[in-house]
Amino acid sequence: FSSSSSSSLSVCRVEAMRAAGRQPLVLLPLLLLLLAPSPALALRFELQSGHTKCIAEDIRVNAMSVGKYSVVNPNDVEGHLNSPPLPDTHRVTVRVTSPHGNSIHHADKVESGNFAFTSTEDGDYLACFWSEDHKPSVTLTVELDWRTGVAARDWPSVAKKGQVEVMELELKKLEDTVKSIHEEMFYLRSREEEMQELNRSTNSRMAWLSFLSLAVCLSVAGLQLWHLKTFFERKKLL
């Protein structure tokens, strides 16, 4: 009885050690999923015919950015494979511009499209949508999926090209995320230095403006005193 009980205890210890060894392997994918960046969600907005609507995205320099857009078919019935074609009134003109106004992408009267670029400037990039005026007025629903940085990479293609495992792919995502955060920190630091320099320049200009205002006030006061003195002297009051 004692030998059987001791053997069963040793088996329990071995199973417990195995379970303890497997626990980090189970927790690691969960940790990676929690730390992995959440995918960008598509944005839907309404656009009146004859109007323009712009979407701005603050992008740092040398960042990859991809986007795709489409006009939602109002005649599309969920569950039907053969949906009616999109009406002729549901076309948009799209233009993507840089912070300095340089055109990156332009499409005229289209139902859908996509764009991709690597930013050469820091600042707000604009994606503007315009619909031709119609009578009666028509309201379009536009769907825009705009991804920047790590979210812009085509990870399934990376996995197929390199034939990497799921864990390795998650590690690559985390590596790119850390690099993106690191570059973003340097970018924010440079912006902070620019803002501090702007504050110092503004304070210096305000100080000079204050001295100039004081000098003008003193000059005007002296001119008024001189005018009053000459006036009283002419009237022989002094």
3-state DSSP call for residue 103?
Answer: strand
Task: Compute the distance between CA of residue 8 and CA of residue 21 in angstroms, rounded to an integer.
Answer: 20
pLDDT digits (tens, 9 = 90+) for 101-110: 999 999 999 9
> pLDDT digit string (tens) for 79-98?
455 667 777 788 899 999 99
Which one-letter amino acid corresponds to residue 183? E
**Would you give per-residue pLDDT tens digits along the chain (238 residues)?**
444 444 443 434 444 444 444 444 444 444 444 444 444 457 899 999 899 999 999 888 888 888 999 998 877 655 455 667 777 788 899 999 999 999 999 999 999 999 988 888 888 999 999 998 888 888 899 999 998 876 666 655 545 545 556 666 677 778 877 887 888 888 888 889 989 999 999 999 999 999 999 999 999 999 999 988 888 888 777 6
What DSSP string runs through 108-123? EEESEEEEEEE--S-E
Structural fold of domain 43-152: Jelly Rolls (2.60.120)
> ω into residue 39 within 30 of 0, thus cis?
no
